[in-house]
Structure 1
């Protein structure tokens, strides 16, 4: 496949080698192929990797079947993919509660398989939502952009906003939970606060108070497994419907990824994509 990019106005000049390795995080194997096959062009001309590139330059990258291995993803049902945004490189989809982001085996169908069916091509998981959580999920449409988006997540350049309905009330309207999270040695399905765990930071803002519940907005600086669920339950405010960290409920777990904000990796624009869950809103509207 051939990809063409115009470097944006705010681009800082750098050698082509740095652009490929340090800015776009292209793996070493694929950089080798680009160099040996002469598949990297600047302004339609062959270049050496030490050449400086500048804002406004056209970069052409060509990848063939040898450059990336196939994912061999089984297609699911296209009608189960609620696509919120799509372009040449990435796609954002609204995941319903109760559906996995990706399957654990090659034969298990999940959101990834349904998205692939909807656009008739493989897609690659950038991040995931818990099965019981609904909302916006980002997939890469090619293996070239996959490490770029992954690095953006690691560096907290991609922001996610969650809505959660929790038990009880808080004394503050805004606060931050900065508590490391680690594996629960007694239950592999659970996470716990642990000084030896991974750094985890959740910012919490009160949206609305009900009789004995509170609607909060949570934004993340990190993306640990079950992060919001563990952090809120550690304050004795578990998410309603969270059977793992709170109490069982006949209704869904009230956690929804309502917005994802992505600085586009190749274009000088910010994508702000919202997702709506009717089941979340239905329960919320019945809450007093």
Structure 2
């Protein structure tokens, strides 16, 4: 594997070691391989780890396939993939409702990850950055190589990947809400989560009213955290469960009305802003 990135013009000067370790989160073992093989070039020339790099420098990292663990993903159907954005390092696709993000058993091959593996083969392989529930549709981000995966993971943890969802809830919701209730596992149903202020994990969902739809309300939801079923549990906790929710609504019929409508991030290498809108929308 070979990756070539040009540092942004305003990038501050730093050592090669700082770039690999602090900015790009390259594991220590892989940094050792790069150093001993002289696998890093700056503007086409080998550089020692204590030498400086700066804005507009072209950085080339040369890796062996054995530097990262090999994963076995069964190949699915590439025709199932609807690309919203793609470059050498990452891909954002539009997941249909009713499709799992990734397999839970080794013999599964009808998930989004399987289909994406078929789409990218043989030049790249997909790595899960975040997940959407099976019933949820919309924009979802994958890394195309293990080199960029930890950087995108850190961006997710630091809340610099913006995600906005469309939803339709039961009842007339008239005011915006910021819901901060902690979420934990449901002891009585392993499929479900519940509000657990004592033992649950912190969760923050911002809910904005979009328009009223008779006996239901269209809303936008913005996540600060990514707990399992977070939007579904939070909206149910204020008495406005998602329409079509088989787990958290007493009046479930039709599809789950939750759609990952917008995803935005700053590219970890080029620093350009990437924004995608997943169509069709819910309303």
In the alignment, the residues of structure 2 paired with residue 163 and residue 13 of structure 1 have an alpha-carbon distance, to the nearest angstrom, of 42
**What displacement does 1:41 show?**
1.7
2-side partners of 1:188 and 1:227: how far apart?
15
- Per the alignment, residue 42 of structure 2 pairs with 42
* In structure 2, C-alpha distance between the alignment counterparts of 1:248 and 1:48, rounded to whole Å: 64
Corresponding position of 1:255: 258
Q: Deviations over 1:53-87 (max 9, x none)?
A: 21111111001112112212111011111111111
Give 2:136's aligned residue. Answer: 133
The yes-or-no answer on 1:152 pairing with 2:155 is: yes
> Matches of 2:173 and 2:91 in 1, distance apart?
36
Q: Distance in 2 between matches of 1:12 and 1:197?
A: 40
C-alpha distance 204-30 of structure 1, shift in aligned 2 (>3 A): same
Deviations 1:38-61 (A, max 9, x none): 101222222221222211111110
Please give the alpha-carbon distance, in whole angstroms, between the structure 1 residues aligned to 2:49 and 2:223.
37
Give the CA deviation at 1:248.
5.1
Runs of at least 5 residues in structure 1 that lack an aligned partner in the other structure: none
Match of 1:193 in 2: 195
CA distance in 2, matches of 1:128, 1:100: 9
CA RMSD of aligned residues (A): 1.3
Q: Deviations over 1:188-236 (max 9, x none)?
A: 2111122222211111111011221100001111111111001100001
Q: Secondary structure of 2:66's match?
A: coil
In the TM superposition, residue 12 of structure 1 has moved relative to its aligned partner by 2.4
- Give the TM-score taking structure 2 as reference length: 0.95
**Which residue does the alignment assign to 2:278?**
275
> What residue number does 1:77 align with?
77
Alignment of structure 1 residues 6-25 onto 2, 5 Å: 6-25=6-25
User: For structure 2, which runs of at least 5 residues remain unmatched after alignment?
Assistant: none
Compute the displacement of 1:14 (Å): 1.8
Secondary structure of 2:113's match? Answer: helix
Q: What is the total number of aligned residue pairs between the two structures?
A: 279
SS in 1 for 2:61: strand
Give the structure 1 partner of residue 211 of structure 2: 208
Displacement of 1:128 after TM fit? 0.6
Deviations 1:244-263 (A, max 9, x none): 11135331000000111011
Cα distance in 2 for partners of 1:255, 1:238 equals 11
What's the TM-score, normalizing by structure 1? 0.93
